[in-house]
């Protein structure tokens, strides 16, 4: 069984050995994951307010606004398919390879090797997570850890079939979900300090440190 302290030491060593490249990769990954969260919308009260305002518009304006929103949604989906997904996978590939030896930023191009497979795999992962979350928060959280290794598997081999990728992730995380959760909790102090420094510490230390550790976890479970 892997130990959290040893894993973090391995991730920290790899990160410090290639500091600026890891910082840039982690910063790019933060932007990409942030875009994905925004692109797939806000919910709850914000969605209700937007819906109410939309219903109060005159019919002609409503049609025009609906057309504009549909255009933005289509553009957002295309950007996620052709840019966000492959770049994210490329970032994970960079962190994986950086564990063994310093890599250059150009490694992120690895995520562009198979657009179709990367898109389908991550789409299915997100769909399954959404369906599990609809049941209850806890099952959704558990499945989040079950599918945690999906992008890393794609990063090593973008041609891995979607369901095979998801199956392998479940197998790798079997018996490791709780330890992975504790691993995430171990970064809580760093995350709080990142907030207190307005995200500066997160950019230059916390996020690249955490991503390097996650890559070390993937290699340990392979």
Evaluate whether 137 touches 92 at the Cβ level (below 8 Å).
no
pLDDT digits over 148-164, tens only?
999 999 999 989 999 99
Tell me the CB-side half-sphere exposure of residue 16, using CA atoms within 13 A. Answer: 6
For the entire predicted model, the pTM comes to 0.81
Tell me what pLDDT residue 62 has: 63
Portion of the chain with pLDDT greater than 90, in percent: 55
Identify the CA nearest to 108 among candidates 82, 88, 85. 88
Mean pLDDT, residues 24-50? 65
Place of tokens 């919910």: 43
Q: What mean pLDDT is reported for the chain?
A: 85
């Amino acid at each position: 069984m892997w130990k959290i302290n040893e894993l973090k030491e391995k991730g920290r060593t790899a990160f410090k050995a290639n500091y600026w490249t890891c910082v840039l990769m982690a910063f790019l990954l933060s932007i990409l994951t942030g875009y994905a969260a925004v692109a797939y919308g806000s919910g709850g009260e914000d969605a209700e307010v937007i819906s109410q305002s939309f219903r109060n518009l005159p019919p002609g304006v409503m049609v025009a606004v609906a057309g504009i929103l549909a255009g933005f949604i289509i553009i957002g989906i295309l950007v996620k398919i052709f840019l966000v997904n492959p770049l994210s996978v490329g970032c994970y590939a960079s962190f994986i390879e950086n564990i063994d030896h310093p890599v250059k930023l150009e490694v992120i191009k690895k995520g562009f090797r198979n657009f179709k497979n990367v898109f389908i795999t991550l789409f299915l992962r997100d769909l399954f997570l959404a369906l599990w979350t609809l049941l209850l928060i806890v099952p959704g959280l558990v499945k989040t850890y079950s599918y945690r290794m999906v992008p890393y598997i794609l990063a090593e081999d973008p041609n891995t079939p979607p369901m095979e990728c998801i199956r392998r992730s479940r197998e790798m995380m079997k018996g490791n979900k709780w330890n992975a959760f504790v691993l995430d909790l171990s970064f809580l102090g760093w995350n709080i300090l990142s907030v207190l420094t307005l995200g500066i510490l997160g950019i230059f230390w916390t996020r690249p440190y955490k991503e390097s550790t996650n890559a070390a976890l993937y290699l340990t479970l392979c």
